[in-house]
């Protein structure tokens, strides 16, 4: 690990001012950044510790939604009674996302900003446009079993690893940001992460010096919420494919539906195509299969990850069937 300097921020304005210096980065739980620093993938010259900032509260909003502070831990967020009751898909995703030890350290803001687990990104001897722009993508033509099947480019086929972000996508959350000049803005979580295009090293819409201060969840939508994660082993593993759905039915017909995928793209993938194929149609397997076909219509495998296309279809069908059945029963 290379040498670096360190300071602990005492307020949000001071934190964004401190991180505006060249080579500076925020650190909170450090569950991703420290690993990357040890491998010399990340080489910050200065760390600004924001873990002690007063951004840990989970607050009810007047409209019935929730605001989750960026420094709230994944464990505290998943265990919050209001989250478990009104946003169970978020609790399910957080619990599936990591071990208890990691959830106790990882923050909500840091979870959104974690970087890909592509092995070529971690291997500094391999070409990786995300780590070293212009060096190529070793995953294309390499061992790409865990890689993306949607929204890819010739520059990068990496996936985003967050489970939490998939749930927040289907919940239509907004990310609160504080700029270096003290101005605040909100960005829909669906717009927060970028597709790779020609610049896969630019992963979010964050401006230089900008910091996540919280996430706002709108009032909970009607219907049953379910998160399903398919992985190589039962714990401590990233998703091959994950699905978050919210389904409401009325006398056997799907009255509203939302669907998002993880493990299939450079960002959490909201499938408006699947939602259109579901809404207004019978809550039946034929409908779920049609939605799955629509969701994967533009999916492209690269060899080792071809299986993900069918896996994503089947995972969506099974999750939709479970959600619709639970909705009718409840």
Q: How many CB atoms lie within 10 A of CB 273?
A: 16
Distance CA 69, CA 56 (A): 5
Q: Flag whether pLDDT at 75 surpasses 80.
A: yes
Q: Flag whether pLDDT at 10 surpasses 70.
A: yes
Distance CA 198, CA 66 (A): 36
Burial of 123 (0-12, 13-18, 19+ CB in 10 A): middle
Q: Flag whether pLDDT at 114 surpasses 90.
A: yes
H/E element holding 38?
helix 33-38
Q: What six digits make up the tokens of 150?
A: 């949607």
- pLDDT for the residue numbered 83: 98
Distance CA 238, CA 252 (A): 35
Percent of the chain with pLDDT over 70: 98
Distance CA 269, CA 324 (A): 21
Closest listed residue to residue 110, CA positions, set 165, 156, 57: 165
Q: How many CB atoms lie within 10 A of CB 46?
A: 15
Closest listed residue to residue 112, CA positions, set 204, 19, 238: 204
pLDDT in tens, 130-152: 999 999 999 999 999 999 999 99
185-192: long-range contacts, CB 8 A cutoff, minimum separation 24: 186/216, 189/112, 189/165, 189/215, 189/268, 190/268, 190/270, 192/112
Burial of 77 (0-12, 13-18, 19+ CB in 10 A): buried
Q: What phi and psi values does residue 20 have, to the nearest 5 degrees?
A: -75, -10
Closest listed residue to residue 156, CA positions, set 207, 109, 115: 115
pLDDT in tens, 163-220: 999 999 999 999 999 998 889 999 999 999 999 999 999 999 999 889 999 999 999 9
Contacts of 71 (CB under 8 A, 6+ apart): 28, 50, 51, 53, 54, 55, 56, 107, 108, 109
- pLDDT for the residue numbered 222: 96
Closest listed residue to residue 66, CA positions, set 195, 177, 220: 220
- Residue 214, beta-bridge partner list: 69, 176
- pLDDT for the residue numbered 57: 97
Distance CA 13, CA 53 (A): 11
pLDDT in tens, 12-59: 999 999 998 899 999 999 999 999 999 999 999 999 999 999 999 999
Task: Share the mean pLDDT of the chain.
Answer: 96
Q: What phi and psi values does residue 217 have, to the nearest 5 degrees?
A: -100, 125
Q: Flag whether pLDDT at 330 surpasses 70.
A: no
Distance CA 97, CA 229 (A): 9
pLDDT level of residue 100 (50, 70, 90 thresholds): confident
- pLDDT for the residue numbered 43: 95
Q: Flag whether pLDDT at 228 surpasses 80.
A: yes
Closest listed residue to residue 239, CA positions, set 169, 311, 306: 311
Contact in structure between 178 and 211 (CB atoms under 8 Å): yes
Q: What six digits make up the tokens of 260?
A: 């998002």
pLDDT level of residue 329 (50, 70, 90 thresholds): low
Closest listed residue to residue 209, CA positions, set 9, 39, 74: 9
**Would you state the torsion angle of the CA atoms of residues 217, 293, 194, 218, taken in this order, to the nearest 10 degrees?**
-10
Q: Flag whether pLDDT at 1 surpasses 80.
A: no
Q: What six digits make up the tokens of 160?
A: 């985003």
pLDDT in tens, 248-281: 999 999 999 999 999 999 999 999 999 999 999 9
- pLDDT for the residue numbered 328: 61
Distance CA 114, CA 31 (A): 9
pTM attached to this predicted model: 0.96
């Amino acid at each position: 690990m290379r040498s670096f300097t360190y300071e602990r921020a005492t307020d949000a304005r001071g934190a964004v001012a401190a991180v505006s210096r060249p080579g500076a980065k925020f650190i909170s739980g450090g569950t991703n950044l420290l690993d990357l620093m040890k491998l010399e993938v990340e080489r910050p010259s200065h760390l600004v510790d924001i873990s002690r900032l007063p951004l840990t509260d989970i607050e009810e909003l007047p409209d019935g939604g929730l605001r989750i502070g960026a420094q709230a831990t994944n464990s505290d967020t998943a265990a919050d009674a209001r989250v478990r009751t009104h946003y169970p898909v978020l609790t399910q995703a957080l619990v599936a996302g990591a071990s208890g030890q990691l959830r106790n350290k990882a923050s909500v803001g840091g979870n959104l900003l974690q970087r890909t687990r592509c092995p070529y990104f971690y291997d500094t001897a391999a070409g990786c446009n995300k780590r070293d722009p212009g060096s190529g993508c070793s995953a294309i033509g390499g061992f790409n079993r865990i890689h993306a099947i949607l929204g890819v480019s010739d520059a990068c086929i990496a996936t985003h690893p967050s489970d939490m972000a998939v749930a927040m996508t289907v919940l239509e959350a907004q990310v609160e940001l504080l700029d270096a000049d003290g101005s605040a803005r909100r960005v829909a979580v669906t717009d927060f992460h970028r597709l790779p295009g020609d610049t896969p090293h630019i992963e979010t819409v964050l401006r230089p010096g900008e910091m996540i201060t919280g996430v706002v969840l709108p009032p909970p939508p009607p219907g049953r919420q379910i998160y399903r994660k398919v992985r190589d082993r039962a714990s401590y593993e990233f998703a091959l494919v994950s699905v978050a759905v919210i389904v409401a039915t009325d006398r056997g017909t799907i009255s509203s539906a939302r669907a998002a995928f993880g493990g299939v793209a450079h960002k959490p993938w909201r499938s408006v195509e699947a939602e259109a194929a579901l809404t207004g149609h019978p809550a039946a397997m034929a409908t779920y299969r049609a939605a799955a076909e629509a969701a994967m219509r533009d999916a492209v495998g690269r060899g080792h990850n071809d299986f993900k296309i069918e896996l994503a279809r089947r995972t969506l069908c099974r999750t939709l069937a479970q959600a619709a059945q639970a909705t009718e029963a409840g």
